[in-house]
Structure 1
């Protein structure tokens, strides 16, 4: 079961059914969704994805997924899960645009990385980031992620594969 995590300013806790509207709003915001998965999805696709968090991810204890809150309000989304891009686990995170530029991305990414190392016992974690997503690349660089390789996607876009080893920083 996905545990609750706390940082200085954030609370990461398992989603509750009442988080659906906030989740859909986050994933429907093109400023966020352009960097997530295959890009913007329909509202129906976002609702189906939210439902799968309960029917598959939590029900089968597949991996950890959190609702991110700040001061009791929904602020974003976070995950750590096995990846087929590398032999290991990948961190995924998204903050609502109103939270950008305040250092919360760094705080959130560090919390997920620490969970991977300290709780899951990982020796390294990965992140995949679209090459034009300079803000996320900068956050990950600041917390010790290193470039592994680039992948060219079916649409011609480039995704950077990054890793952070336990002993970095």
Structure 2
């Protein structure tokens, strides 16, 4: 069951059906959505709607892993999850997060990533929490390094891009929320 999480300024709650338009909007936005999978220009909105449906029909229904809507002052500003990595080269759990472009630059990314990492270590008892980030996503790389993630590997993708694997280990210096 996905628990509610709170930080100083953010509330992470399980999605509700009324969140669908905000979810699709985040994933389809050119600025924010470019960092999710293959980006909105190559992914029709119908795929994001289907993904939103699977959060309820599979992820929540089968209690697979926590997935949250991220809110600030009651307003939807992002998406977050911590899950077993689907990548064959990564045996562990990874955090996934994204914020609406209009919420960038306020420290929410740092606050959110720190909360997800702490949840992984404290609630899931993980000794390592991972993040996979496109090497061109300077904002996310900066956030993760700021809270104690260390670059551990580069992975060359089929499209020629590079994904960086970053790892946070129990006991690492980090921002705690």
Q: Tell me the TM-score range normalised by the shorter chain.
A: over 0.9
Q: Does 1:44 align with 2:46?
A: yes
Give the alignment partner of residue 111 of structure 2, picking from 107, 111, 115.
107
**1:4 maps to what in 2?**
4
Residue of structure 1 equivalent to 2:123: 119
Matching residue of 2:144: 140
How far apart, in 2, do the equivalents of 1:5 and 1:76 lie? 14
C-alpha displacement at 1:38, in angstroms? 2.2
Displacement after TM superposition at 1:26 (Å):
0.5
Query: What pairs up with 1:8-27 in 2 under 5 angstroms?
Result: 8-27=8-27
- Any idea what SS the aligned residue of 1:150 has? strand
Q: Does 1:73 align with 2:75?
A: yes
How large is the RMSD of aligned CA atoms in angstroms?
0.7
| Pairs within 5 Å for 1:150-169 | 150-169=154-173
SS at match of 2:20: helix
- 1:87: Cα distance to partner? 1.4
Deviations 1:70-124 (A, max 9, x none): 0001010000000134111000000001110110000000000011111001011
Q: How many residue pairs align between the two structures? A: 169
Normalising by the residue count of structure 1, what TM-score does the alignment of the two structures yield? 0.98
1:137-161 residue CA offsets vs partner (Å, 9 max, x unmatched): 0000000000111001010000000
Report the counterpart of residue 60 of structure 2 in structure 1: 58
2:81 matched to 1:87? no
Cα separation, 2, equivalents of 1:38 and 1:61: 26
Moved over 6 A (4+): none
Return the alpha-carbon distance in structure 1 between the equivalents of residues 119 and 153 of structure 2. Answer: 24
Measure, in 2, the Cα distance between the counterparts of 1:82 and 1:140.
Answer: 18
TM-score normalised over the length of structure 2: 0.94
Unaligned runs of 5+ in 1: none
